[in-house]
Each structure stands twice: as structure tokens, then as C-alpha cells.
Amino acid sequence: MTELNEPTDLIPAGRIPVTIEEEMRSSYLAYAMSVIVSRALPDVRDGLKPVHRRILYAMRESGFTADKPYRKSARAVGDVMGKYHPHGDSSIYDAMVRMAQSWSMRVKLIDGQGNFGSVDGDSPAAMRYTEARLARAASYLLDDIDRDTVDFQPNYDESETEPTVLPASYPNLLVNGASGIAVGMATNIPTHNPTEVIDATLAMIANPEISLEELMQIIPGPDFPTGGIIMGRSGIRKAFETGRGSVPVRARAEIEEIRKDRQAIVVTEIPYQVNKATLQEKIADLVRSKEIEGISDIRDESDRSGMRIVIELKRDATPEVVLNQLYRFTQLQTSFSVNMLALDEGKPRTMGIMDVLQAFIRFREDVILRRARYDLNKVRDRGHLLVGLVIAVANIDEVIALIRAAPDAATARAELMARQWNADEVIPLLELIQDEGNVIIDGKVRLTEAQARGILELRLQRLTGLEREKIQGELDEVATKIGELLKIIASHVRRMEVMREELLAARAEIATPRLSEISDALGDQSDESLIEPGQMVVTITRDGFIKRTPLDMFRSQNRGGRGRTAAGRRGDDIIMQSFNAHTHQWVLFFSSGGKAYRMKVWHLPEASPTAKGRALVNLLPELGSDSITAVLPLPQDEDLWEDLHLVFATASGHVRRNRLNDFKNIRASGLIAMKLDEGDSLIGVATCQAGQDVFLATKNARCVRFQITDDILRVFAGRGSSGVRGIRLAPGDAVISLCILNHVEATVEERAAYLRMANAKRRAENAALAAQDASDETVNEEENLPSDDEDGEENLEFVGDLTQERFEELEAQEEILLTVTDGGFGRRSSAYDYRVSGRGGKGITNMTFSANRRGKEVIGTLPTLPGTDVMLITDTGRLIRLPVAQIRVMSRQASGVTLFRLNDKETAISVFPVMEDEGEEGDALDENPSSEEAVSNTPSSPADTSGHEQSNT
């Protein structure tokens, strides 16, 4: 027995050992390159994959051209499969069907007859039932293929040859696009308008240095066969520049009134490659799962005239919101991911639109050059024969005698070639056609074998005078043609002219109007468009929980009612801040650390009045251990921000003014808003304009009012300062309210006279309220504190009446302030009762506390508008909403009337205004003061452009 000393002894002779890793690597790479080059990726030159190229070429070879009758699709598929594409007939037929579908191809390459599927995803009929032929546009891809314009390669069994590329006359890759998945790579090229693509190619020929911006003036973007609306241009530019990008495409939909009180969304175009039937099923599923509400019916009314999907809405649905929800949750809006990967010189390459056009122009120039060389050879061959005929006609007698004397054709041919013929007339022609076959000796010419054969085959009728002229004329045409071809071969400029002429001819045949509209709107749909517009009550608790609740859940009650439960509390958590705002408003949040954050109201968690909400730290991760101390709803119209300023107020009485635009761009991590001293906190931020007044109120019932001017309160350039003193506080006192009032020029006498006349008018109009106030033991509204010059008290002496015109002028500008205590009492006072003083003083009295009433601190002072409501909240979570019209206007030193009947040990902690939409009629007030359910009105934005915002702590 022979011992095996080495493993190689097991290897048969002539075999080379290979590791399995090397074999797998080489085999897989070979497979991958085969898929990439021979199956999945289109060629940048003709825009076709091998299967599509083979289908078009086979149909041309079989004569299934646009000028011939339709032929069975099975016959074309059989030719392709038998000669060029050794794969299943289903893959060939599917590729052929796609080239015949108007919703798949921007320019159809196959003219089909029969059922070739539908945009609903229906399968085409079997190939034995359908018929097809080449479309006219396909001829511009195949023309001149038999004139040596492209290379050919053997087919799979080397019994035939097939073209490696078609000599396309226009950039088919951009016109019809392509999609495919190879090994480790994929391509997804959108379709474009053929007219625009050809015009862009012409522009690049005219100016090879054309910029992308100039090119995009010609091709603004893709043009899909199903139409639709392309949202935005940034994705298009990125795709055109780099070859990669995302293009948002939205269906074309209109809102129509189909019958009385019923509206419907009608879709007439859908995004590219979206299945219409699947789209409708998805909408139905969303309606059934209640993810989209407001849809009552959906039906497809599409016919031969066009697409029409009718989505019928319920009576109470908002069409715009439903449509935006459909855009968001269905394929009525999709993003076409552009990946312009194609084979360039046999290698996969991602190209921008300029690269694609440049590659096509290079290829097309090479086609024209090869065609010119091929034609030149053919024309020269013809000219060579014509020269022989001309020589024969010129020497006809000798030629005939020689032929008659020859015993056979071979001898005659040899003698014709051996003799030198007199050819003075053809020597210039020989030089013109650059014929190098004939030998000229002493002005005489020897015939070539081809010329001798042509003379022997010459028919006698060609010897007539007319035929001799035709031969001479054809020779002249050949000479002219040769001259033109030589120019094409020698001149790049001339080749570009030829290319331009052929592009214009192709454009005349395949030009179509643009189908897809390009909108300058942003492609990325904001979630805001999905939110029903409405007014919300936003509440923030001491422990940092926030929520929004629809305002109409809080119905108005009469003054002195019991209110209703506002929020579920965790432990002893209480509501610290409340305001009402529109769902689409921006809200600024200011933290105890002096940073500002920004968020839309709709982004806040929606919850019922009894829910506790969501922790702010989850919404503002950068908040950390800080707490939100001030909140400011901003005007919805951002154009108003340009002229607005922000006024900051702290508990210690400091104020600062900044431009609102300083806070327009706030990062998610927040923005430093104000520097705060240790122990101080931000109690309020309000928008204002120069010339208005700042009003500060303290918890110990002091207040100050000063005008916003550059001398009194300048605009701070930075955000890192602590501001200037607004009011000088007594020990234990703190600022609790910041208001912005309109400045009215009036003397002390005018204000006193107006107050006396206005109060008399109000007493006459509000007799019913006066009777109710008496039952509540209202403190005498004329009760005043002793005069204190140091505190800046102002005693208004009543003087004579104002003129009616001046009274009406002051009345039109009057603002009413509501002051509320922690005991649930409050009263309204005219802003004229608060004089305008300098900044930094101790201020004047804001309210008198009665000894026999609960509450010893003011919780808020805020402006109120006629016809609106205010909302009060207690530390136990109860709240009440009541009309301000039920609160009398009194002197600023009156202790007020009962607004909220509190339980034992219960305290009012917050008050804020509720604005109402103009033109909306509210329901009647509840007759029962203690009812927890009352009337609601539709609210409007709380951020008035005059600056009437407030934040309470």
C-alpha cells in the first residue's frame, strides 16, 4: 500500500488546488457583474436594459415596425427567446408589456393592441391574445443600426449577432427612466418630458459649458406619465446635481361640492408607480380603523376619458384637513427616490443630469462618425463602379470589340483590366472621389476587377444618351455626397450640426406637453396641516405637567358659580399657569434658568380637563432640572413679528426689552433669554410695540405703569443681561403680572372727568349688576387709602364734564383691567385710573383688601375685552369660566365682588382671559350659577397684535 505523505497527493494530475474562499469570491463576483451588466442596469447611451434592447431589435428584424400591421405578441416573444434572450417567456412578455403601458413609459416604445393591464394593477392578457408592433418613437432608437453605428456581439449560442447598444437619436434614459435591482446596487431613474430633454441636449450642444441652473430652466424636473404635483425643487436640484435625491410627488386633488351640503375630494392624477386599487383599499382601511375621520364613501369613477376617484366627506368634516391626512397616511403623496445609476462604458456609475447628457452626446457623436465612415465607404464603392461605367461609355466601341473577340467572360474581364483606357474626363472625378483603386499611367487609366465586372454586366439600355447623362449625374451626386461625409468625419462642429438636425426631427415626432406640475411649496408636509384648527386651553402644573384641552369643553357660568374639576392631580400638584391659544400658534417657553424654548400648540399633548397631562421634560429634553416660569403665545401671522418687541418681567421687579426676531430661530436645545439673579424668577413675557405702556402688578396690591420709549426702556442688543428696575418692591412683595397697555395722551383733569362721567353711565346701564353686588356686600367703590406722597399716590379731583366729542374719543381708547385676589374676589377698573409714571418707583395702590373677606394677595391683573370671558383656577384643580360683562367696573381701590365661591382652605391661584372669534354667536348663559356645565363660544387667538398677553404664576 502506498502512503499519502502530502494532501496534494489526492489531487488528480492536471488539476490546480483552489481554496473555497477564493472560488466563492471569484464566482460571486462573476455572477454579480453578470447581473449588473447583462440584466439589471440600463446603459446610459440608449437607456435600455438588455431584455428591452433585444425585444426592440428582434421586432425590427422581424418587420414588426410602426408602418406594418400588428402581430401576435407571442410571435415577438418567441423570436426574442429563441434568438437572443435565453430566459422564460414571462419575463420577456412582462418587459414588452411595460413598454406598451402609457402609465409606465413617458414615451411608449411598443404599440400594443388588446389588454395590456391597467393602472389598477390588473394583469395583461396572455401573449396569445394581444398584438403589438414597434411604436414610432422606437424607430428613433433603431435607425441606422445596420450602418455599422454600434458594435454587435454573438448571441448566447453564437448562431446570431445582437447589438450591444442601440444607436438612439434622443436621450431615452432620461425620457423613459429606468428601475432595477442588481447585486449590491440599484437604480431608480425618473421619467422626464421628451421635449424638455431634447431641448436641454440642444442647449448643451450649443454651449458645452452650460451651468446646472441654466439647464434646470429647460428641464425644471421629472415629468411622470401619471402626472401629479412635484412638491418643492430642492430634491430635484440635488438629484440633478449628484444623481441622488428624493422628489415628493402628490396626487392632483380638488374639493368639489357634489350636492347640497356635501363636499367631496376628487382625485384626477396619482403619483407615479402607485396602484390605484391598492390606494383605495388603503383609504378604506384607514377609515375603518378611524385613523382618518370625516369620509363617508369612496368610489372610482374612472373611465376612458380619465381618472376620477371620488372621496365623499361627511357634513361636519373639514375638507382641507381630510385631504392633508390622506396625503400623510396614504400614497396620495409619495417620495420618488432618485438614484441615477447606469452603465457608462460598461461600468456602473451614479450620474447627475449633466453627466447623462454629456455621455449621450459623446455616444451620439460616435454614432454619427461611424455612420459617416460607413456611408463614405459605400459611396466610394459606388463611385468606383460609376467611374468604370463612364470609361466604358467613353470608349464604347473598343469595349464592345474587345468583348466580342474574347472567347469567354474571364478572358474579357482580364483584357479589360490589362488595357489602358483613355480617361481624360474621369481623372478629375477620380481625384474628387478619392478613388485609390485605379492606376493612372500617362493620363490613361487601368480598370479594376470590380469595374471590369460592372462593365460586363452593363445592360445595353445604359448606352443611350439619356442613360449616359444619368450615369454622369449620379457620379456628380456621389462626388457631392463624399464631400459632405468627409466634412462630417473631419469636423466636430459639423457632427454637432448633424446631431442637432436629428434631435429636432425626433422632437417633432415624440414631443408632448408636460404632465407633472412643479409646485414651489415645500415637499415635506408639516404635521400642522393635519390638525383641525381650533382654540385650546393650555395648562401647566407646578410639578411640570402640561396639556391642551379644547376650549369648548369649558362652558361659561354665571359669576359666583361653583366651577368644575379642572385636572387630575398627582399628590399636591396644582395648576400654576394657564392660557388659551390657537392650535397653529407658536408658544415660547421660558425656564427658571433663563432659557427660551419654542413649540407649536398642536404639538402639546391633548387631554381631558381631568387628565394630568405630560411632563414638560419629556417634550423639552434640554430643560433638565429647570422649570417653566413664563409662557408666551405668539401671533399666528409671522409677518407681524418684524415690528414687535418682547418685554421681560421678573419677580424682583426687573424688566427688559428685546426684539422678537432675536427669538425667531430657537434650537431644540433652547436659547439663552435672560440673565437672572439668584432667587429671582421670570414671571411674564409679553409682546409690545414702541409707545405702548408696561403695567406691573404685585401680589401686595401695588402697581406701576410707564411708557415704552428708548429713554425709559431701551431695546437691549443682547440676551444675557438682567435688565433694569421696573418697580421698587417692599419687603416680602413680588411682581405677579405683566401687561401691555395702549398709551393714551390725557391730562389728569381729563381722566378724572372721564371717570366720573363713565361711572355714571355704567351705573345706569348696570342696575342689575349693582343689585347683585349689594347682596355680595361689595366694598364702597369710592373707598380710598390715605394719601401717601412717598408712594406716589394720585388723588383725582372731579372737575367739569368733557365735551361729547372728547368723551367719545377717550371711551373708544379705554381699556379695562381685571384684578383678582386669591380669595376669589375681583373687580374691573378703567386703565385711566392708573396714571403713567416713571420706571422704578414704588407705584400706586391696585386694590384694597377687606378685613372681613378671604384672601390677602392679588393673583393677577389683566386687560379684558368686551364680550369675552375669563377663567379662574384654584389650587384644588377646580376652575370657572365667566363673562367679564358680569363684573362691575369700579375704582382701582375697591375690593371687588365674589367671582368664585371657594371651599374651605381652597385658594384661587390663576386667572387668564378667554378670547372669542368675531362673528361667532355664543349660546345663552346657564341660568344655574352652580352648574358645572354651561355655554361655550368658539375662541380666537389670545395673542392680540396690540400686545394684550399675560402670563401668571
Q: Give me the active site residues, please.
A: 129
CA dist 177 → 37, 76, 215, 340 (Å): 17, 24, 18, 9
Kind and range of the H or E run holding 740: strand 735-741
- Could you give the count of Cα atoms lying within 13 Å of 812 in the half-sphere of its Cβ? 6
Residue 171: name the closest of 7, 329, 425, 356 by CA. Answer: 356
> Residue 321, exposed/middle/buried by CB under 10 A (0-12, 13-18, 19+)?
middle
Instruction: Catalogue the long-range contacts made by 89-92 (C-beta closer than 8 Å, 24 or more residues apart).
Output: 89/127, 91/51, 92/51, 92/55
Q: Which residues contact 523 (CB under 8 A, 6 or more apart)?
A: 230, 231, 232, 234, 235, 246, 247, 248, 335
Q: Check residue 779 and report its DSSP letter.
A: P
Largest CA distance in the chain: 155
- 663 DSSP assignment: G
3-state secondary structure of 99: helix
| Local structure of residue 850 (DSSP, 8 states) | P
* CA 488 – CA 494 distance, rounded (Å): 5
Is residue 861 within 8 A of residue 910, CB to CB? The reply is no
**Could you give the CA distance from residue 247 to residue 295 in angstroms, rounded to a whole number?**
28
The torsion region of residue 220 among left (phi > 0), alpha (psi -120 to 50) and beta comes to alpha
Compute how many other C-beta atoms are within 10 angstroms of the C-beta atom of residue 119: 20
Q: List beta partners, residue 349.
A: 342
Q: Are 547 and 601 in contact (CB under 8 A)?
A: no
Question: Cβ contacts of residue 876 below 8 Å, gap of 6+?
Answer: 574, 903, 906
d(CA 261, CA 313): 10
Helix then strand count (H, E) for the chain reads 22, 44
Q: Give the number of other Cβ atoms within 10 Å of residue 3's Cβ.
A: 5
Give the cell for residue 491.
469636423
Please tell me the distance from the alpha carbon of residue 785 to that of residue 209, in angstroms, as a whole number: 86
Positive or negative, the Cα torsion across 43, 49, 52, 55?
A: positive
Cell numbers linked to 870:
375669563
Residue type, 130: T
| Rounded alpha-carbon distances, angstroms, from residue 866 to 378, 553, 560, 714, 770 | 97, 22, 19, 32, 18
Q: Residue 247: beta bridge partners? A: 336
455 vs 447: CA distance, rounded Å: 10
Query: In whole angstroms, what is the distance from residue 200 CA to residue 112 CA?
Result: 30
Phi, psi at 146, each rounded to 5°: -95, 20
Name the amino acid, one letter, at 932.
Answer: E
Q: How far is CA 36 from the centre of its chain?
A: 33
CA–CA dist 397, 204 (Å, integer): 60
Phi, psi of 319 (to 5 degrees): -60, -40
Residue 298 φ then ψ, to 5°: -140, 135
Identify the residue whose cell numbers are 446596487: 185
Return d(Cα 497, Cα 343) in angstroms, integer: 27
